[in-house]
């Protein structure tokens, strides 16, 4: 279960506060996955008491609201990432970036599908640059338009800032340097980039997930209800 | 019951690799306090705080998003109704227990969640001799095993302790972040300051979260 409580002394009234939280959640807590199971209890609440003073934010139209919404979104993303860092049995922190989609929703659905694929997650645990499993998950994402195999590219973005490792370019497999791939996959942090088209769509979504290890099964095999 | 195979966050066995994610200081929002208490929601928990309270000194604005799972736990239903009936205004606190999710517990579970909120409200009323409009002001959350009733009398008996333990230091916030953990290996707490273009003031935001498994949120 995910629970979260956020407090601020900014003077934000209830309506704009709900709007800011709802917006922030989409790109933060609703963009993480550890094991693909949605709990019965997930809740994130925010309280704003205005104790620091200043002009109240009473509407969603003001520049102050936009700034607050941005602050809250970035803050929520940082909190959500901590949850992924603590995924049961996880050894990797994985960012999935889906670009060039027709809509944010499409990009988010593809990223979410990759993030919950057990075979992608076990490949990551096994340090296997298995782009085939990533592509497979991309292809079965539901209600997504514009996934064209001949236009799809997949690459790994190393956490050390070095050049991306291209695995698939416009549907054609690259000659992968296995030694470099293994080195990239040794790191705790990794980014997978999936480009859905060649400039036909401009929307992007980011999702955060972790790998799937023996330890996850051990932990959850112990549970009794 | 669910057995914890991971070390509890408070027991000093936080994995070395995770310690870097735990802040040693923080800048916390004015007029908020956090505190915790030991209930022993799970009988096996004889040491660690498992009741958390985050409170505003004065009634404030509140908002929340909730799971879209169709089997929504009692505290989800109760807290959503609370925010709806109050239009997000006049909220005083968030009370959270770990160890039992109060999920799929029927009407009894709803009553337990309401009582948890009501008793938290009473702590504020008693302390300040304040007005009691009879309406709930506390958001309720629970996390832990599904399908079991809360040991509600044990919980409500410790709400005054959590209230008494409220404070505004980093240790109070961190202790409270630990109290909401279940199989988490470390408490998750962040804080920062920010400004807004139309104000001179410096604002603060702080947040705690928990979760390690059964995580694929889809909240609205």
Give the pLDDT of residue B41.
96
Per-residue confidence band for A145, with pLDDT thresholds at 50, 70 and 90: confident
Q: Are A64 and A160 in contact (CB under 8 A)?
A: no
- DSSP secondary structure code for residue A37 in this structure: P
Interface confidence (ipTM) of the complex: 0.95
Give the chain A residue whose CA is nearest to the CA of B33.
A7
The CA distance from B163 to B159, in Å, is 6
Give the chain B residue whose CA is nearest to the CA of A49.
B60
User: What's the pLDDT tens digit per position in A115-130?
Assistant: 999 999 999 999 999 9
Question: B139: buried, middle or exposed (CB in 10 Å: 19+, 13-18, 0-12)?
Answer: buried
Contact B139 A223 (CB under 8 A): no
Reference A45, options B57, B180, B170, B111; nearest CA is: B180
The CA distance from A165 to A154, in Å, is 9
Q: Which of residues 78-97 of A touch B (CB under 8 A)?
A: 78-80, 82-88
Chain B residues with beta carbon closer than 8 angstroms to that of A215: none
Give the pLDDT of residue B136.
87
Instruction: Encode chain B (220 residues) as per-residue pLDDT tens digits.
Output: 333 334 444 455 889 999 999 999 999 999 999 999 999 999 989 999 999 999 999 999 999 999 999 999 999 999 999 999 999 999 999 999 999 999 999 999 999 999 999 999 999 987 766 666 777 899 999 999 999 999 999 999 999 999 999 999 999 999 999 999 999 999 999 999 999 999 999 999 999 999 999 999 999 9
Give the pLDDT of residue B4.
38
Identify whether A22 is a catalytic site residue. Answer: no
The CA distance from B124 to B130, in Å, is 8
What average pLDDT does range A29-37 have in this prediction? 98
Q: Is A46 on the interface with B (CB under 8 A)?
A: yes
Could you give the angle at which helices B106-128 and B152-164 cross, rounded to 10 degrees? 30
Give the pLDDT of residue A112.
98
Give the pLDDT of residue B36.
98
The percent of residues above 70 in pLDDT, for chain A, comes to: 99
How far is the alpha carbon of A103 from chain B, nearest alpha carbon, in Å? 19
Q: In the predicted model, is pLDDT for residue A75 greater than 60?
A: yes
Structure token digits, residue B188:
């998750």
Chain B residues with beta carbon closer than 8 angstroms to that of A71: 194, 205
Give the pLDDT of residue A50.
98
Compute the residue count for chain B.
220
- A199 or B55, higher pLDDT: B55
Residue located via tokens 């998750």 = B188
Give the pLDDT of residue B10.
47
How far is the alpha carbon of B157 from chain A, nearest alpha carbon, in Å? 23
What average pLDDT does range A22-29 have in this prediction? 98
Give the pLDDT of residue B129.
63
User: From the candidates A16, A39, A91, which should be mutated to test the interface with B, based on the most B CB atoms within 10 A?
Assistant: A39
User: From the candidates B19, B41, B65, which should be mutated to test the interface with A, based on the most A CB atoms within 10 A?
Assistant: B65
The CA distance from A187 to A165, in Å, is 14
Q: Is A1 on the interface with B (CB under 8 A)?
A: yes
């Amino acid at each position: 279960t995910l629970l979260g409580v956020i407090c601020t002394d900014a003077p934000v009234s209830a309506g704009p506060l709900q709007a800011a939280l709802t917006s922030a959640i989409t790109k933060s807590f609703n963009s993480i996955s550890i094991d693909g199971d949605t709990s019965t209890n997930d809740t994130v609440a925010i309280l704003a008491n205005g104790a620091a003073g200043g002009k109240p934010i009473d509407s969603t139209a003001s520049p102050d609201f936009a700034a607050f919404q941005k602050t809250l979104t970035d803050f929520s993303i940082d909190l959500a990432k901590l949850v992924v860092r603590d995924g049961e049995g996880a050894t990797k922190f994985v960012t999935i970036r889906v670009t060039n989609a027709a809509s944010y929703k499409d990009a988010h659905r593809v990223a979410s599908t990759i993030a919950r694929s057990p075979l992608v997650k076990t490949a990551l645990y096994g340090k296997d640059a298995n782009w085939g499993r990533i592509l497979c998950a991309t292809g079965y994402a539901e209600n997504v338009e514009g996934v064209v195999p001949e236009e799809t590219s997949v690459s790994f973005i190393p956490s050390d800032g070095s050049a991306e490792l291209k695995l698939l370019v416009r549907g054609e497999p690259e000659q992968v340097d296995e030694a470099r791939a293994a080195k990239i996959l040794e790191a705790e942090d990794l980014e997978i980039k999936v480009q859905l088209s060649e400039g036909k769509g401009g929307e992007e979504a980011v999702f955060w997930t972790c790998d799937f290890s023996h330890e996850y099964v051990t932990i959850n095999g112990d549970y009794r209800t | 019951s669910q057995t914890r195979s991971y070390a509890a966050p408070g027991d000093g066995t936080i994995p070395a690799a995770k310690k870097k994610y735990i802040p040693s200081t923080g800048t916390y929002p004015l007029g908020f306090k956090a505190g915790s208490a030991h209930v022993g929601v799970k009988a096996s928990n004889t040491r660690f705080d498992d009741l958390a309270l985050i409170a505003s000194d004065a009634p404030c604005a509140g908002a929340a998003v909730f799971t879209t799972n169709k089997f929504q736990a009692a505290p989800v239903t109760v807290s959503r109704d609370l925010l709806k009936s109050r239009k997000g205004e006049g909220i005083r606190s968030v009370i959270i227990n770990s160890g039992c999710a109060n999920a799929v517990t029927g009407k009894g579970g709803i009553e337990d969640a309401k009582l948890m909120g009501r008793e938290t409200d009473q702590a504020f009323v008693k302390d300040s001799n304040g007005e009691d409009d009879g309406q709930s002001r506390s958001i309720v959350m629970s996390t832990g095993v599904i399908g079991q009733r809360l040991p509600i009398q044990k919980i409500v008996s410790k709400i005054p302790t959590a209230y008494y333990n409220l404070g505004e230091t980093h240790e109070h916030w961190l202790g409270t972040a630990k109290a909401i953990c279940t199989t988490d290996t470390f408490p998750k707490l962040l804080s920062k300051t920010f400004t807004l273009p139309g104000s001179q003031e410096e604002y603060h935001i702080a947040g705690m979260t928990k979760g390690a498994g059964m995580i694929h949120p889809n909240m609205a």
